[in-house]
Amino acid sequence: MLFVLWFKFDPSHAHKVLELWKHFKYPSEVKLLNRVLLIGLHESLAIFDAPDAESLLKITAPFHELGVAHIHPAMKIDEAVQIHV
């Protein structure tokens, strides 16, 4: 299942967040599709494929003291259109 994660962090934690991202290893069951930093907003965005909620906790737990993670299930627009046709 696709998920979008955006992580809002305090500017004072920027260095810690970036260092953690440099060395972060996604759980083996998670496939990272894309990850970006939203410049000037102190937010990062990741799109990934994961099987369950436990995988999501493994991703967000290391960052919990540095900011707030928001995760939402997602669907490709082409698939959504087919469902609602």
Could you give the C-alpha distances from 42 to 1, 53, 74, in angstroms and in order?
27, 25, 22
Q: Which residues span the domain enclosing 49?
A: 2-83
What is the average pLDDT score of the chain? 89
Domain count, the chain: 1
| Cα separation, 34 vs 82, whole angstroms | 24
pLDDT score of 85 more than 70: no
pLDDT of residue 46: 92
Mean pLDDT, residues 23-43: 90
Please check whether residue 50 is in contact with residue 1, taking contact to mean a CB–CB distance below 8 angstroms.
yes
CATH code, domain with 67: 3.30.70.920
Q: How confident is the model at residue 47 (pLDDT cuts 50, 70, 90)?
A: very high
What is the pTM assigned to this prediction?
0.79
